[in-house]
Structure 1
């Protein structure tokens, strides 16, 4: 066939690679006359890797704080709480038995809870919770956070009390000191109605690391709490689940089994706003840091535009040999996507390593500098927590890849619009 009678169709190489992929990969290898383009390509990879690393690390830190707060808060409160319509729970042994027989329930423990006024060297208000020491570890972690003393000292008629650390400091007491507890129950006397009060001996101090509980919670024996408040049973039953995310379906099951004489609440009912705020903050942070990735991808656009300008003659020759505009676009998209994939790979690797070892790294920096990153005198979480979640890593990879893919479209389109005659005019 004479030359020029028909365009020559370019075929894939014998290495079983499509033509666009072959040429796109070849353009990624730097030559002497396009070292600057190769430098810009390297900068694009580094910027994308740093952005991905930062996003993964920040998300892991926020996951760590969220998990730490959930652990500390749910270490003091119940996943599910069963209470009665009146002051006390009717037939509470049956309710405990039903609750323990429900799926996903690890433990159940009755309790009495009331507001009280505490008087020692200084006065303070607090929540008095009457517990059964042998059952309390099934539903809370307070026994694991005892600074002094132990919960088993809270026996019937012992009139002992365990205080949160901040509450003990406010009252100015320590183990062995006396605390007067005044509850809103009145007794008729010749002098008139007077509130009930009782002297308790401090037998222990706990510290959960949460201001809400360390400064406002005191524990006594459930029998002592009933006697002090004039009750004939517990005011509620606290449940612990094997998965706190199942609190709502478990609560719905308990409502059907226990009947209308009981009220069932979950931890999501009492702390939903707090955890929703944390989740919203995490999403906003993801969006903000995604914009940093978008800025890093702009370098990719600059690199591809310079590459298109540098390869005008090559594009024109390929067009005269039969390459279609779609094929030309594919060649340049391959290089842009490859830069994005390499940057994402390095970013995920560095982000995962940094997130997993972040607490150790922070401790090392604190040891070298002699300064505490999160001072325990100011913050209740004194160690920087980090929890790597691969679902977050997956979202980071998807978003970054989409940004890199979109960044290649305009330069590749410009390359496909190259006119062979104009590009070869001065060659």
Structure 2
């Protein structure tokens, strides 16, 4: 470049590599503040804008897909608790006649639902983390077993499936799942709390 421009010995650009790929925009802003106004500072998300937008769109789609899976799981919790309330109507009525308050009955079913959700979320989170941290070994095992190259460099831009585990994303998914599970338990718990003991026990 210096020979073509006739600027032998001169420096017309400087590249900075960050340890964290996604910290590049913040690093760019800090560098730009320390340089004179006539200098131009750009990061990879600007020079590779189409790729960056594609990655963001893919992450959004994966998040929406994950949200739909969690919503289905929450609906299953609602169905399970509604059936449990129907089966335990007599027991609930007996507890009410013994002095149990509506709030206490509601708390029992909320705790039941959250317990089911906690087991499922724990299994899912542990499985996901193990898959993400061992994806290279799993891919190699499948390739050796099947004799097929899953990521052929002549077809794809990558030769392996990269994985960057972000604990903030894991925490966000776990908390969102717990919140949806809590909301899913409220309606069945409310129905359980509204059961009238006299009406249920009248025909017993």
Same-fold call, TM > 0.5?
yes
SS at match of 2:165: coil
Q: More helix by proportion, 1 or 2?
A: 2
The CA deviation string for residues 275-324 of structure 1, in whole angstroms up to 9 with x for no partner, is: 23312320231122211111122221111111101111111111112222
Residue number in structure 1 paired with 2:190 = 413
Residue number in structure 2 paired with 1:15 = none
What is the TM-score when the length of structure 1 is the normalising length? 0.44
| CA distance in 1 between partners of 2:39 and 2:50 (Å) | 21
Report matched runs for 1:254-265 at 5 Å.
Answer: 254-255=35-36, 260=37, 262-265=38-41
| CA distance in 1 between partners of 2:188 and 2:97 (Å) | 20
Residue number in structure 1 paired with 2:12 = 236
| CA distance in 2 between partners of 1:251 and 1:242 (Å) | 15
RMSD: 1.9
Cα deviation for residue 241 of structure 1 reads: 4.5
The CA deviation string for residues 143-195 of structure 1, in whole angstroms up to 9 with x for no partner, is: xxxxxxxxxxxxxxxxxxxxxxxxxxxxxxxxxxxxxxxxxxxxxxxxxxxxx
Residue number in structure 2 paired with 1:247 = 28
Residue number in structure 1 paired with 2:126 = 349
Residue number in structure 2 paired with 1:338 = 115
| CA distance in 1 between partners of 2:131 and 2:155 (Å) | 26
Cα deviation for residue 273 of structure 1 reads: 4.7
> Is the CA contact (8 Å cut-off) linking 1:241 and 1:247 kept in structure 2?
no
Gaps (5+ residues) in structure 2?
none
Cα deviation for residue 349 of structure 1 reads: 1.0
Residue number in structure 1 paired with 2:42 = 266
| CA distance in 2 between partners of 1:334 and 1:313 (Å) | 20
Report matched runs for 1:163-202 at 5 Å.
Answer: none
Higher relative contact order (CA 8 A, sep 6+): 2
SS at match of 2:16: strand
SS at match of 1:374: coil
The CA deviation string for residues 204-245 of structure 1, in whole angstroms up to 9 with x for no partner, is: xxxxxxxxxxxxxxxxxx4xx24xx44466461213154534
| CA distance in 1 between partners of 2:46 and 2:190 (Å) | 54
Report matched runs for 1:207-246 at 5 Å.
Answer: 222=2, 225-226=3-4, 229-231=5-7, 234=10, 236-242=12-18, 244=24, 245-246=26-27
Report matched runs for 1:293-308 at 5 Å.
Answer: 293-308=70-85
Match of 1:381 among 158, 178, 193: 158
Gaps (5+ residues) in structure 1?
1-111, 113-221
Match of 1:399 among 169, 176, 188: 176
